[in-house]
Structures are given as structure tokens and as C-alpha cells.
Chains A and B, each alone.
Chain A
Amino acid sequence: MKRTTLDLWVGFFVAIGLAALLFLALKVGNLTQGNHGETYALQARFGNIGGLKVRAPIKSAGVVVGRVRDIRFDQESYLAVVTLDVDATYKFPRDTFATINTSGLLGEQYVGFEAGGDDAVLKAGDTIKKTQDAMVLEKLISQFMYNKASEDSSK
């Protein structure tokens, strides 16, 4: 085979190989919307985080505004300390309410922000005061059973 034909084929091969990699990176892995942007860290304490995982999204009004960076257990207060990376373009009031929600019935868990009315905004390193734990199905069921039982006995 002639040298130039061979070079052409190899060039074609390498080009479509790299194109496939680019397709995987951009279209499948969505590299463009990665965490290039500036973020600031907030902390929140929860009594129970349920199935929350590192890199879970933080959503406010359904829009992703950040990601969970780290989850630790605090030995003194026996609470879970969750470090949140919030996109620097979004500012939240000091009395923002952090909840742990589930998307759909069996979906992944995420941190939800409900903005309060305070004029001062949260800065890097601040701790969110108002939090709500993850909903645990067993607790809900036992509460329901307990209420049902007390209703029946009062009749």
C-alpha cells in the first residue's frame, strides 16, 4: 500500500477516535456544565441525612445551585455536618431553610433551599441554622400506625 494512503487511513482513524472521545465528554458526560464556576462553602447540620451522598445536587425552586461537597459525623453534637458548595452567582438570605428531599418516589436525594426574608446573605463558611431532616419511611409508618391505634382505642 502506498505511504500516503496509509497515512490518510491512520489519520482518519485517529480523528474519528478523538471525535468519539469528544462526543463522550461533551454530549454524554456534559463536561461543559462541570463545576468550573466559582463556589462558596456553607455548612448545615442535620439529625438524619437519610441516603444523601457526596456530589448530590442542591436545588432551590427546582434549579440546581450547587453540590454536596462533604458529609461528616460530629462526635460532640451527634449530628451530621454537611458541607455544601454553592455557585457563587447565587446569594441566599441568612434565614434560608435547608431540607433533604427525594426526587420522585424512589429517586435520589438532594438538598433543597427555601429562601427566607432576611436582608443579610450567607457568606462562605456560614452555617445554615434552620434545617429539616430526611424523611425516613419507617418512622412515618410507625407514626401512622401509632396514631391509628390510638384512634381505635379512643372509640
Chain B
Amino acid sequence: MLDAVLGSLTRLGNRVTSRVQRLGKASLFLSAILLGSGTAWRRFSLIMRELYYTGVLSLIIILVSGLFVGMVLGLQGYDTLQRYGSSSALGVLVALSLVRELGPVVAALLFASRAGSAITAEIGLMRATEQLSAMEMMAVDPVARVVAPRFWAGVISMPLLASLFSAVGIFGGYLIGVVLIGVDEGSFWSQMQASVDFRIDIVNGVIKSFVFGVIVSWIAVFEGFHAAPSAEGVSAATTRTVVTSALAILAADFVLTAFMFTGA
């Protein structure tokens, strides 16, 4: 009896310490990336190449899902608002929910599964095929040459993708609300402009997406770099990237929202 209790306590303690150790390792890795970023910024073509793979190739999925999310918001929002006779507030509803929450969060989730997983798999495979070790043998720092450009490309892409998501989403809401259902176009835009504040809503949305960009890129490169050098290792690391990123994005979103949008 006592042995069973002690055993489960030990397992719990072991699990907690290994998690904390991993967090510490990830923090050290982040500081190594930041310290090794000099090369990446001096040779900007390295970041440029990664911007293509993380940013440009994510465009289609971001644009299409942004359009659909905005159209669904337009339909559902109209359905609820017209019961209270305030369907003219549709623009406010669509714009605020996209700019404050859905834009940064959904774009970050899509970005994690589209670009984050690709980064992890790529770096993990480099680890498995010992390309990273080969670089070290040639006195090339793999963190500076491989990891830092991918990290910064993710950080730069994320706010741009989230802005695009919000803009396309608002256009989608406009298509459904104004063009299809026939909400008055003037009140759609003017009420939106009266209620959306540049500093409070838009700037905070961009800050959110920047933080999510750091989180997703950090997790993706960390998992890839520390993947077990085997086929199973790479696949497990890729899964962990998507799952951990999603949880971290949603948790960070709650904390950021609590700081940004209360009291005002």
C-alpha cells in the first residue's frame, strides 16, 4: 500500500522535474538563438529564403480560412443581432472579434500546423541524417546557420499573416453581411470605425500575433533541434510541435487578453 503511494508520488515528481528541465533547456536554447542571430541578420538572404518557405507558402491557407471565418461570422452574427434589431452593428462584431481574437489566434494555429511542423520536420531530419553534426565539424554553428533564420522568419511572418487574416475576414463579413444579406453599407463601415480603436484594438492585436510568432517559432525550432535522431523521433517531435504550440497559443492568448482588454 505504502509502496504504491510512494511509487506514484515518485513518478509524479519525476514527471514534473523532467518538464521543468525541458523548459529550462528550451530557455537556454532561446538565448542561444538570440545570441547567434547576428549572422542571420547580416546575411539577410538566409532569412529571406525562410520567409519564402514559412510566410509565402502559408499565404493561401491563411487567406482562404480568413475569408471563410469572416463569412461565418457575418452569417452567425447577423442571425443573432437581427433578433435585437441591431443588425447595423454587424461590422463592429465582425471587426472586433477578428482584430482582437480570431485573427491572431486562428492565424497562429494555422501557422503552427502549416509552417511550424515543417520547420520541426526539416531540422529534425537534418539531425537524424547528421547534417547538423557535419556542420559542427566544419566549425559552422548550426544554431546560427540553420535555427536562427527560421526563428526570425517565423517572428516576422506571423504579424503580417495575422493582419492579412483579419483584413480578409472583414472583407468576408462584408461580402455576406452587405452584399448577400443587405445590411446597410454605410452603417456597417461607420459603426465599425466608431468602435474599433487603433491603439487599443489593432495595435494590441499585432502585439498578440508577434508574441504568438515568437512562441510558435521557438517551439518549432526547439523540438526539431532536439528531436531523437530516428524516423519515430522526427514524427514525435512534429506532433509535439503542433500540440504544444496550440496549447501555448491559447494559454498565452488568455493571459494577453486579461492584460490588454480589461478595465478600458
Contact = CB atoms under 8 A, between A and B. Distances in A.
Main secondary structure of the interface of A (DSSP, over half): helix
Contacts of A27: 189, 193
Given A10-B51, A13-B55, A23-B167, A30 B194 contact: yes
A9 B56 contact: yes
Nearest to B190: A30
A34 interface: yes
A20 B163 contact: yes
Contacts of B40: none
B192 interface: yes
A25 B198 contact: yes
Contact of B95 (A3, A28, A34, A54): A28
B206 A9 contact: no
A17 B161 contact: yes
Contacts of B59: 13
B176 interface: no
Interface string A1-43: 1010011011011101110110111011111011000000000
Contacts of A21: 159-160, 163, 167, 206
Given A20-B167, A28-B193, A30-B196, A13 B51 contact: yes
Interface in B15-67: 45, 48-49, 51-52, 55-56, 59
Contacts of A29: 99, 193, 196-198, 201-202
A10 B166 contact: no
Contact of B56 (A10, A20, A25, A28): A10
B159 to A, nearest CB: 8
Contacts of A20: 160, 163-164, 166-168
Interface string B234-258: 0000000000000000000000000
Contacts of B99: 24, 28-29
Contacts of B164: 16-17, 20
A6 B160 contact: no
B44 to A, nearest CB: 10
B198 A31 contact: yes
B123 interface: no
A99 B168 CA distance: 41
B146 interface: no
A24 B96 CA distance: 11
A7 B166 CA distance: 25
Given A7-B48, A24-B202, A13 B170 contact: no
Contacts of B45: 3
Contacts of B264: 54
Given A16-B164, A20-B164, 7 more contacts: A13-B59, A17-B55, A17-B164, A28-B193, A30-B193, A30-B194, A31-B198
Interface of A: 1, 3, 6-7, 9-10, 12-14, 16-18, 20-21, 23-25, 27-31, 33-34, 54-55, 106
Interface of B: 45, 48-49, 51-52, 55-56, 59, 84, 86, 95, 99, 157, 159-161, 163-164, 166-168, 170, 189, 192-194, 196-198, 201-202, 206, 264
